[in-house]
Chain A
């Protein structure tokens, strides 16, 4: 896989950031509330995609169970919102409990009365669960397809558990957040949605930089080493189990943050977050955007989801065909994803086909630098 980076001028990078920040600030005034809300949701999905890229694109762990951690983050946020907005309901507990005759708050809800605990829980609980599942799986040297199947099976276990526990977390109905209060404001209000959009945009950038920091340098090289040849890493004296557990845990934490942001912007968290197709979609975003590129994961998540809503509005029920077709197209024609293709030799090869660029006869690294450097 070619990961060669296009070298940008400093000026271009600076203007890119200025435009990006201006767009983020201006988005709420440019876009109607409905579209803004959709964009905010898709941006929050790009954080879980970053995690998928870290574990799959860099470390070679194809997890089909990221929905677990995504939903856990969402539930943490929703439990806090429900509990702080339940003062007018019987027994001062969230309204749905009355439907099932529950009078006392289940014990695990108690800590979610604290906003500080909730902020930490949103990413620490999914990270811990991921770390625990990961450690057990990696320690037993379960790899490849077996790892993917195991993560999907775990996803189903979590789905069935959450789906069946009406008395604990409202089961299949999920927890609604849009009519709850946060700091005296209605969560579903236009004002709050605007704030959530900005928070999401900032967190996407923060998560992007964090992921770049993780894969930079020797730590990231070990991840790539594990992906390409794990026994070799082992015989060099590294313990791959620890590295894989750490990166899986990081991806879990990112999924939790993503799930919490998605929940407050879509107004509900439910076991639907833990369905099998949704977790597979996360992998498709990364595959289409470009594995091992980080930015590709963000762009893949945002653009595919935006396309999904546009297509679904115009031609209902046709989206699944388009998504499937897109995946097949990428796997066969652009195995490195769109961004991977652009950053690699893709555009050059395409231009060559139309005779617009000279053919490379030896190593690209030798010819491209020398010849084109002289021409300029």
Chain B
């Protein structure tokens, strides 16, 4: 662990009634890093995000974010500390408009009194406009989010994530169900976000991961199997065995 690290996961073990979803997982993230996490089904990718965001409490181990322990903190407190999450299937508020969705994400402070008393600040409105332009939803401002296409929903959720201004963005399968063109745009967007933000992307899509051009961590059976660039891990024998599959199989 060193001071440049934004996040350290130390020996995280999560046991669901005896089943080890995560088994002594160690992972460190530097500030500004873009990291891809891949792994076969059941490798513990989503549980890994659940532990960081406070949805699941680790049975053992420690999560250190910006020097503070996250274990035992409530989800909304962790979110306020600067951890943002995009879910696997787009989770947006379908009965609200695109703009209202973004308002929810950019508003600070997130207290009831602030929401009921005061109008939204100008800089927050500007931020919403900027976000809508980035994700090409400017014409859909007042449309119900539920009426958007699947790809637009994914993008709206990414915009909501960015609007939260988190230090750490956890992005779960952002390109599931997107067209090739949309996938490319998403990869560019995530690359442009890293540097200023630290981004963790979980996905299955190898082409997409390659496009991200980042360090990759391979999870298997709840633990980190291998870490490195796409080239390194593609040559790693263990990875080939469990995930990529041997050519002769």
Contacts and interface: CB of A to CB of B under 8 A. Distances in A.
A and B physically associate: yes
Interface of A: 1, 3, 214, 217-219, 221-222, 224-225, 228-229, 231-240, 242-243, 246, 363, 365
A228 B94 contact: yes
A365 B143 contact: yes
A238 B164 CA distance: 11
Interface string B105-118: 10100111001100
Interface in B46-96: 53, 55, 74-76, 79-80, 84-85, 87, 91-96
Contact of B115 (A1, A217, A228, A240): A217
Interface string B169-191: 00000000000000000000000
Contacts of A242: 111-112
B103 interface: yes
Nearest to B116: A219
Contacts of B110: 236-239
17 contacts: A3-B95, A217-B115, A218-B103, A218-B104, A218-B120, A221-B103, A221-B104, A222-B104, A228-B95, A232-B93, A234-B74, A234-B75, A235-B79, A235-B85, A237-B110, A239-B74, A365-B143
A234 B93 contact: no
Contacts of B91: 229, 232
Nearest to B53: A235
A335 to B, nearest CB: 14
B115 A232 contact: no
A213 to B, nearest CB: 8
Contacts of A231: 55, 75
A214 B116 contact: yes
Question: What 8 A-B pairs come out closest when comparing CB atoms?
Answer: A237-B79, A219-B115, A219-B116, A234-B75, A218-B115, A239-B76, A237-B80, A232-B91
Contacts of B74: 234, 239
Given A218-B100, A228-B95, A238-B110, 4 more contacts: A1-B95, A3-B95, A219-B112, A235-B76
Contacts, number: 75
User: Would you call the interface of chain A mostly helix, strand, loop, or mixed?
Assistant: helix
B115 A363 contact: no
Nearest to B114: A218
Contacts of A214: 116
B234 interface: no
A229 B79 contact: no
B14 to A, nearest CB: 18
A221 B107 CA distance: 12
Nearest to A229: B91
B147 interface: yes
A26 B120 CA distance: 43
B160 interface: yes
B93 A237 contact: no
Given A228-B95, A229-B91, A231-B55, A237 B164 contact: yes
Contacts of B87: 232
Contacts of B93: 221, 224-225, 228-229, 232
A364 to B, nearest CB: 9
A365 B143 CA distance: 8
Contacts of B100: 218, 221
A5 to B, nearest CB: 12
A218 B107 contact: yes
Contacts of B103: 218, 221
Nearest to B119: A217
A221 B75 contact: no
Contacts of B92: 232
B80 to A, nearest CB: 5
B141 to A, nearest CB: 12
Given A217-B115, A231-B55, A236 B79 contact: yes
B187 to A, nearest CB: 23
Residue among B80, B92, B100, B120 with the highest chain A CB neighbour number at 10 A: B100
B37 to A, nearest CB: 18
A243 B112 contact: yes
Contacts of A229: 91, 93
Contact of A225 (B75, B76, B96, B111): B96
B214 to A, nearest CB: 24
A3 B79 CA distance: 30
B164 A236 contact: yes
A4 to B, nearest CB: 9
Contacts of A237: 76, 79-80, 110, 164
B93 to A, nearest CB: 5
Given A218-B104, A238-B76, A224 B95 contact: yes
A225 B93 CA distance: 6
Interface string B187-230: 00000000000000000000000000000000000000000000
Nearest to B107: A218
A255 B120 CA distance: 31
A225 B116 contact: no
A37 to B, nearest CB: 37
B143 A221 contact: no
Contacts of B55: 231
A232 B161 CA distance: 11
